């Protein structure tokens, strides 16, 4: 299995080029990133998840993975939220809690999964990723909104998120064995690429507005520590426990380990911008974690595969 820097360099450079494109667009063309963030949250993300579910033909085992990752990420965020409120301001604590439960599993992780995993492993990875996406737009969105809005206002905002209805609709159609016409599914294929492109460009657009005062070393260290220390250790323990008590397949084990070492999610910036909670700080933290990714991912995966015996 090739876990070298050369393997990861292509996806990294592509993502960074999207960030740079967003930076140029904001500075030269005066593009406002806020409407794009709204478009991602309310249109592109729901249709991307809907298409993934319809293509994946969810089974009970796949949905169990989705539920497990949703519960795991939600628990992580709730714990971090309780701790962060003691040491950070309301906005920073809300953003830190949201970021702790998610990672760049789609924009960054999926291209790597396509390289490292066989087709069945990519399917496992996708259903795990869906659980994280579901967390982002339910528990994660609620915790972020609570940094600025009341409980009632936060719940109302969640109830208006189309991703929940897209997720439910896809499950219902699959349960009824209803397949959408091929032209419709083909037309939906544009949304995953748009999701990746615009999601990374928003980081650059936000960075174009960043002032030196937005740098917060304590916040960035907390975000990076959660992403590259807590998550790898937690998932290593989970994989070792699963291997000890169940016949864990190497493919699923690698998919779970990969989920734990991707950089911070660019949706941190999207949600922060949509809710108005420190998007500049979020963008800086995401950028730092993305730049560290090609150095840390090969190292982490190599060590963890050796420790778990999956290599």
114 Cβ partners below 8 Å, 6+ apart? Answer: 122
What is the b/e burial string over 125-144, where b = at least 16 CB atoms within 10 angstroms of the residue's CB?
bbbbbbbbbbbbbbbbbbbb
pLDDT at site 311: 67
**Cα(174)–Cα(182) distance, rounded to whole angstroms?**
15
Lowest mean pLDDT among 101-105, 107-111, 292-296: 107-111
Q: What is the dihedral of CA 93, 284, 258, 124, to 10 degrees?
A: 70
**What's the mean pLDDT when you consider all of the chain?**
85
pLDDT at site 162: 86
Two structure tokens written together for 149: 């809005």
Q: How confident is the model at residue 6 (pLDDT cuts 50, 70, 90)?
A: low
**Does 7 score more than 70 pLDDT?**
no
pLDDT at site 234: 96
- 45-56 average pLDDT score: 82
- 154-182 average pLDDT score: 84
- 188-201 average pLDDT score: 84
CB 286 within 8 A of CB 265: yes
- The reported pTM is 0.83
pLDDT at site 75: 96
pLDDT at site 199: 80
pLDDT at site 127: 87
Size of the chain, expressed as the number of residues it contains: 311
Question: Dmax of the chain from CA atoms?
Answer: 57
Lowest mean pLDDT among 53-62, 124-133, 207-216: 207-216
92 Cβ partners below 8 Å, 6+ apart? Answer: 84, 216, 219, 278, 281
> What are φ and ψ of residue 149, in 5° steps?
-120, 165
Most confident of 195-204, 235-244, 289-298, 300-309: 235-244
Locate the domains of the chain by residue range.
5-308
pLDDT at site 5: 59
**Cα(23)–Cα(12) distance, rounded to whole angstroms?**
17
Q: How confident is the model at residue 260 (pLDDT cuts 50, 70, 90)?
A: very high
- 153-178 average pLDDT score: 83
**Cα(217)–Cα(131) distance, rounded to whole angstroms?**
30
pLDDT at site 2: 58
On the CB side of 159, how many CA atoms lie within 13 Å of its CA?
Answer: 6
**Cα(193)–Cα(89) distance, rounded to whole angstroms?**
35
158 Cβ partners below 8 Å, 6+ apart? Answer: 137, 138, 141, 142, 145, 164
- 120-132 average pLDDT score: 87
CATH topology of domain 5-308: Na+/H+ antiporter like fold (1.20.1530)
How confident is the model over 211-255, as pLDDT tens digits? 777 788 999 999 999 999 999 999 999 999 999 888 888 899 999
Q: Which among 268, 229, 225 has a CA at the least distance from the CA of 92? A: 268
pLDDT at site 4: 59
pLDDT at site 1: 56
Task: Measure CA 23 to chain center.
Answer: 21
pLDDT at site 293: 84
- First CA to last CA across the chain, in angstroms? 8
SS3 71: helix
């Amino acid at each position: 299995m090739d876990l070298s820097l050369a393997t990861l360099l292509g996806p990294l450079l592509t993502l960074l080029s999207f960030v740079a494109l967003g930076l140029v667009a904001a500075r030269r063309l005066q593009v406002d990133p806020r409407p794009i963030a709204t478009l991602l949250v309310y249109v592109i993300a729901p249709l991307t998840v809907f298409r993934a579910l319809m293509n994946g033909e969810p089974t009970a085992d796949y949905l169990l993975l989705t539920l497990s990752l949703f519960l795991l990420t939600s628990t992580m965020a709730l714990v971090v939220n309780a701790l962060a409120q003691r040491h950070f301001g309301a906005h920073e604590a809300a953003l830190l809690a949201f970021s702790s439960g998610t990672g760049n599993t789609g924009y960054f992780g999926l291209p790597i999964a396509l390289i490292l995993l066989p087709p069945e492993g990519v399917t496992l990875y996708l259903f795990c990723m869906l659980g994280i996406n579901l967390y982002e737009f339910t528990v994660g969105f609620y915790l972020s909104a609570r940094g600025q809005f009341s409980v009632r206002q936060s719940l109302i905002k969640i109830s208006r998120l189309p991703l929940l209805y897209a997720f439910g609709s896809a499950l219902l159609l699959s349960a009824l064995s209803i397949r959408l016409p091929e032209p419709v599914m083909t037309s939906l294929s544009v949304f995953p690429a748009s999701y990746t492109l615009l999601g990374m460009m928003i980081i650059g657009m936000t960075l174009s507005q960043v002032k030196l005062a937005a740098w917060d070393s304590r916040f960035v260290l907390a975000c990076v520590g959660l992403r590259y220390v807590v998550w790898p250790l937690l998932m290593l323990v989970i994989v070792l426990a699963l291997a000890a008590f169940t016949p864990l397949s190497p493919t699923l084990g690698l998919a779970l380990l990969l989920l734990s070492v991707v950089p911070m999610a660019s949706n941190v910036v999207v949600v922060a911008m949509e809710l108005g909670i420190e998007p500049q700080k979020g963008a800086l933290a995401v950028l730092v974690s993305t730049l560290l990714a090609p150095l840390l991912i090969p190292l982490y995966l190599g060590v963890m595969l050796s420790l778990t015996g999956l290599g």
